[in-house]
Structure 1
Amino acid sequence: MKLDRAALTLMPMHLHIDAAGRVLSAGSTLRRIVGDIADFHAAFEPVGPVADVSLPQLARAERVFLRSRADPAQVLRGRAVRLDDGGLVFNLGLGIGLVETIRRHDLTDREFAPSDLAMEFLFLHEANNAMMDELSQANLRLEKARRRAEAQAFTDPLTGLNNRRGLHLAFEALRQGTGSASAGQFALIAMDLDRFKELNDSRGHAVGDAMLCEVAARLRAITRSCDTVARTGGDEFVLLLPGIFDPAALEQLGRRIIRNIEAPARIDGAASRISASLGVAISSRYLRVDWGRMQADADAALYQAKRTGRGDICIAMGDRVDADGIPEDGGC
């Protein structure tokens, strides 16, 4: 086959070598990628199926893969044709390294043959990346929106505490962890504010709402991060305390909560005072841990505390009792 010099002008990625491997010419784009080269063997290493073959054998290969010795990460691929004088002409391409090579050498559409779809491929690649980035951002926005919606679904909008749904979810998690081991036990405290209606009626709903937020803040300050504090409606609150089931410890904690709630709160320029009554149900006092039963018993204990003069705490008996009718872990 004879070499058509005019054809080489249409091949910016061509490489023309003689039978000994001396470089006779190279396309403008190829020179930008591998620089000025004088000897094929010094510049390239055949790899893949054509590794360790002679120059004439390269012309018989369906595909030729050439790794740049100066830049081993750069692998070119293409075809070789043997000429009548024993030399070879390669028409090379960038293969899977197209995007990286174009960016690294700042190649433009002018560096490629008009028939080469390299830039079209690059455009599709960039468009795909842009689309994937946008999808990723959209997914992040949706995930954030989902989390906000989920938080709102389980949160009391006034105080930021859990609402009934959040409380029930936390109770179910504790219930499923209960058993004979003491670490799985917990306490449920129902709390109702004393004299809150008088404050709300005399000073208005805005002051009442501010007091509810103050109570919420005080409850957060006195409880642990593992505890669940919920506002279940009006001036009613419920606390779930995992790992606390000793009546004496709960009595002490309840008194501390009451003292904190009774401390004066300065709202809208004036000091305001309220109190709180607490009813407690302890999971270890039940043969079967059930939300309805524990809540009802805690509410009953709460109203018993109110009947004794308010600002008090009462612990429910539960149903796990001995033959004498006394709770197995002690009575109230």
Structure 2
Amino acid sequence: MTLAEATLALMPMHLQVDPAGQILSAGPTLRRLVGDAATFEEAFEVVGQTPTGPLLRLAHAERVFLRTRTQPAQILRGRAVALPDGGLVLNLGLGIGLVEAIRGFGLTDRDFAPADLAMEFLFLHEANSAMTQELSRANRRLEDARSRAEAEAFTDPLTGLYNRRGLHLSFEALRQGTLHADPQHFALLVMDLDHFKALNDSQGHAAGDAMLHHVADGLRAITRGIDTLSRIGGDEFVLLLPGLCDPAVLEAMGRRIIAQVERPVEIGGKMCRVSASLGAAISSRCRRIDWDCMTAEADGALYAAKHAGRGCIRIAGEDEAEEG
């Protein structure tokens, strides 16, 4: 083996062409990239310049960039050296396309010169990719945990409805909506379960919890997605109903809620039943649209519903409106 042959054998990405562009020699790795191309023109397109003369001009370039004809997205970079007979020897590399070429052509460590750090760079790339993916997964886990913590902070753990904190946030958002030039009013509905204490005392707390689940599921079934449903303690529920400001419509809604709550449910092998009393306040009819004022008016209406025999709804201000 001559010195020239030995030199080329150590360069698996080399290319030797004669003055006419015929490929005289190509390293085994480069040959996998260019296929059975017989000439420079069949194998490559020069990037960044348009040769107007012989290939010898490439020897005067600081860097040579070549696009492979077989894989146009694959660009090789390297250096060309002129030979005495007018031909060229090029030693090429994969550059920033290293990862794609290794994967696309199934290259291994044997396809690179021993001194080439291609596989080391690939290892670093894979390690960085693995670390990035792990950090991404860790961030998703943290985000999920944060979302769960926020949900738990505003949710009643027994029924899955909002708790008092979640209710207050929703109320404030609705209150802000009433301050606009075109105010968007809403109704606040408080609900107590009738005969719930008797069920709890006779059947036990587990039966009481099951009934609360039943009531919560019933409320979800007959309300809208924009409505806020909350349990603020014991058998006390509060609903915020955006846009539901017509007393007749609100009263009909209350009757549907009562009918839903009164549906018997089997608990512990026994058919159990409760009822509900409701009091409502409409923001457009309140003296002040704030939490204390609206809940006070709704509580007063709830007291009137209980005084009227339970299992009914009363709306704050309706008595005054009827008297007027």
Q: TM-score, normalised by structure 2?
A: 0.92
Shift of 1:84: 1.8
Q: Give the whole-Å Cα distance in 2 for the aligned partners of 1:189 and 1:140.
A: 38
Shift of 1:233: 0.2
Match of 2:75, as an amino acid?
A: V
Matched, 1:116 2:116: yes
Which residue of the partner structure matches residue 237 of structure 1?
237
Distance 1:250 1:95, change over 3 A: same
Q: Give the whole-Å Cα distance in 2 for the aligned partners of 1:301 and 1:214.
A: 25
SS at match of 1:220: helix
Match of 1:41, as an amino acid?
A: E
Which residue of the partner structure matches residue 321 of structure 1?
none
Matched, 1:45 2:45: yes
**Root-mean-square deviation (Å):** 2.3
Q: Give the whole-Å Cα distance in 2 for the aligned partners of 1:59 and 1:96.
A: 22
- For the 8 Å contact 2:56–2:82, the answer to whether it is kept is yes
SS at match of 1:25: strand
Which residue of the partner structure matches residue 143 of structure 1?
143
Percent identity (aligned): 67
1:214-229 to 2 correspondence within 5 Å? 214-229=214-229
Matched, 1:35 2:39: no
Distance 1:223 1:62, change over 3 A: same
Q: Give the whole-Å Cα distance in 1 for the aligned partners of 2:284 and 2:75.
A: 71
Shift of 1:311: 2.0
SS at match of 1:184: coil
Superposed CA deviations along residues 260-312 of structure 1, whole A, max 9, x for unmatched, are 32333322122223221111110111354211211121112212222222223
Q: TM-score, normalised by structure 1?
A: 0.90
- For the 8 Å contact 1:3–1:83, the answer to whether it is kept is no
Distance 1:296 1:28, change over 3 A: same
1:96-111 to 2 correspondence within 5 Å? 96-111=96-111
Match of 1:274, as an amino acid?
A: V
Matched, 1:92 2:86: no
- For the 8 Å contact 1:179–1:185, the answer to whether it is kept is no
Q: Give the whole-Å Cα distance in 2 for the aligned partners of 1:331 and 1:123.
A: 85
Structure 2 portions without partners, runs of 5+: none
- For the 8 Å contact 1:302–1:314, the answer to whether it is kept is yes
Which residue of the partner structure matches residue 132 of structure 1?
132
Structure 1 portions without partners, runs of 5+: 319-324
Distance 1:287 1:300, change over 3 A: closer
Distance 1:134 1:78, change over 3 A: same
- For the 8 Å contact 2:167–2:230, the answer to whether it is kept is yes
Which residue of the partner structure matches residue 211 of structure 1?
211
Q: Give the whole-Å Cα distance in 2 for the aligned partners of 1:42 and 1:215.
A: 77
Which residue of the partner structure matches residue 189 of structure 1?
189
SS at match of 2:25: strand
Match of 1:7, as an amino acid?
A: T
Shift of 1:130: 1.2
Shift of 1:255: 2.3
Which residue of the partner structure matches residue 265 of structure 2?
265
1:62-81 to 2 correspondence within 5 Å? 62-81=62-81
Moved more, 146-155 or 117-126: 146-155
Count of equivalent residues: 323
Moved more, 179-188 or 278-287: 179-188
Shift of 1:179: 4.3
- For the 8 Å contact 1:317–1:331, the answer to whether it is kept is no
Q: Give the whole-Å Cα distance in 2 for the aligned partners of 1:39 and 1:102.
A: 24
Which residue of the partner structure matches residue 307 of structure 1?
307
Q: Give the whole-Å Cα distance in 1 for the aligned partners of 2:91 and 2:193.
A: 87
Which residue of the partner structure matches residue 162 of structure 2?
162
Match of 1:248, as an amino acid?
A: A
Shift of 1:158: 0.9
Which residue of the partner structure matches residue 322 of structure 1?
none
- For the 8 Å contact 2:43–2:70, the answer to whether it is kept is yes
Q: Give the whole-Å Cα distance in 2 for the aligned partners of 1:6 and 1:72.
A: 31
SS at match of 2:139: helix
Which residue of the partner structure matches residue 9 of structure 1?
9
Which residue of the partner structure matches residue 278 of structure 2?
278
Distance 1:106 1:152, change over 3 A: same
- For the 8 Å contact 2:77–2:93, the answer to whether it is kept is yes
Match of 2:113, as an amino acid?
A: A
Match of 1:29, as an amino acid?
A: T
- For the 8 Å contact 1:50–1:64, the answer to whether it is kept is no
SS at match of 1:4: helix
Q: Give the whole-Å Cα distance in 1 for the aligned partners of 2:18 and 2:114.
A: 27
